[in-house]
Chains A and B, each alone.
Chain A
Amino acid sequence: MIVAGRQTAFVFLIVTIALFYIFLEMARRGRKIPIRTFPAIAAIPEAIGRCAEMGKPLLYTSGYAMETLSNPDQGPQTLASISILSHVARLAVRAGVKLYYFTCIKDSLPLVEETLRTAYLEEGKPEEFDPLQINYQAGQSPYLNAVMGFMQRERPASNILMGGFYYESVVMGEAGNTIGAMQIAGTANTHQMPFLIATCDYCLIAEELYAASADITKDPWILGCLRGEDIMKLVILVLLIVGFVISFARVPILIDILKR
């Protein structure tokens, strides 16, 4: 028996899972799922080209993200960021650009290391991979300090800031601006989007971060989930529009259903 007050939530959960499964299967069977174009992703080769031309390194960082992959809001952002990192790393290795990665997320380290190692391997330069390219600092403020110090000392030509950012976003964005770096950013943390938009040349906001990683990897699993999520959003849009219109007539039927 489903507890009163959670029945609609249960239906929502079942419908969402069903939609994810249907579109995931469709994507796996080769059905093409289109995805919106993102200027921030299209600008990544330009950012790497800038580093190559100037002979400067590239800085990539995934934000504070509560220092763990296991946070349900922050972890997926870090994973999406690591997917984008694999694309960035391959382009950087191909162009001969040294990439430096900064993080304070301890449990993401094996993933990051494997991602970078694989990128070097796939580009035929495994001997060029240096684990010291990955910088780990415990804690948000030490991590921020280290990134700022790196920016001032090494003067990267481009910075890519993708992931679950907190207050470090504005400080890093500003520090990157001070050294004249080209900056591409992305976060799903609403409270930090304004700062990344203000300080960076390109920015992915909210779910665009996940969609961008799907666009890069072309992974049918992620693409299928994105399509399922979009269909769920259409359902929510219908509920919002119908609910909004009937609310003027003070008909509470939809609210009552949603509260069940």
Chain B
Amino acid sequence: MGYPTTIDGILGIWTALALMLFVYSYPLYKENQLFRFAEHFFIGLSLAIAAIIAIQTTIRLAITPLMAGKFYYIIPILLGFMMYFILHRDYRWISRYPIAILVGSSIGLGMRGTIIPNILSQIISTITPPKAGADALSWFNFVYIGIGTILAVMYFLLTFEHKGPLLYPTRLGRWIIMIGLGAYYGNTVLFRMAMLSGRAQFLLQVLGLVPF
């Protein structure tokens, strides 16, 4: 993709650059009129896009099948309309039914995929030893993950006070968790730096200092 040549393309990248700089003025300087403009512009634009997507989705997923003769699609459409009663003080209670159905069915669907991947597979991975002839590092990782998992699970015993026999294991468990979270932190900092360099690259591309 080369540097845009059409008017709307050029206008687009310069608008994007200006808005990006307006947003960066907040951390680099302080809250100001330009940031406030970018903030409100962004919120308004996102709301408009969300509204359009919602309308298009309703047409694609509900209205079109209904018009094609799938009359049972009237049920989700009615449930969707019931949500709007949230805006009426006296009939707000009607909106609770679609919300209850939405939350309940989603939790039911979610439970289906919880036990095997989140519990059993995790236990199996933790207690599966390295293959025969594995090096010392693989064994170290196995022992560290095994003991770390046991101690971290102990830390999350919530209806037991961390006293007596639980005092030291849970304290160690907290350390293990903090080490893990520290690694997460470092990893994400690197990712955010990559995002920042992406923005810097965009700035230079718009200014024509590096090719698009």
Contacts and interface: CB of A to CB of B under 8 A. Distances in A.
A148 B26 CA distance: 9
B120 A9 contact: yes
Given A194-B185, A197-B181, A211-B159, 17 more contacts: A35-B158, A36-B160, A68-B102, A69-B103, A71-B106, A73-B110, A139-B46, A139-B47, A141-B42, A191-B188, A195-B185, A206-B156, A236-B119, A247-B128, A247-B129, A247-B146, A258-B120
B139 to A, nearest CB: 10
A218 interface: no
Given A107-B103, A205-B177, A240-B146, A193 B158 contact: no
Contact of B158 (A145, A191, A230): A230
B126 A142 contact: no
Given A107-B103, A240-B123, A146 B150 contact: no
Interface in B93-149: 95-96, 99, 102-103, 105-107, 109-111, 114-116, 119-120, 123-124, 126-129, 142, 146-147, 149
B30 A152 contact: yes
Contacts of A95: none
Contacts of B105: 70
A125 interface: no
B157 interface: yes
Contacts of B95: 110
Nearest to B44: A142
Interface residues of A, number: 66
Interface of B: 26, 30-31, 35-36, 38-39, 42-43, 46-47, 50-51, 86, 92, 95-96, 99, 102-103, 105-107, 109-111, 114-116, 119-120, 123-124, 126-129, 142, 146-147, 149-150, 153-154, 156-162, 177-178, 181-182, 184-185, 188, 192
Given A36-B162, A110-B86, A152-B30, A194 B120 contact: no
A193 B181 contact: yes
A195 B116 CA distance: 29
A239 interface: yes
Looking at chain B's contact residues, is the secondary structure mostly helix, strand, loop, or mixed?
Answer: helix
A152 B23 CA distance: 13
A159 to B, nearest CB: 16
A240 B150 contact: yes
A224 to B, nearest CB: 10
Contacts of B161: 34, 36-37
A132 interface: no
A55 interface: no
Interface string A1-12: 000001011001
Contacts of B128: 247, 255
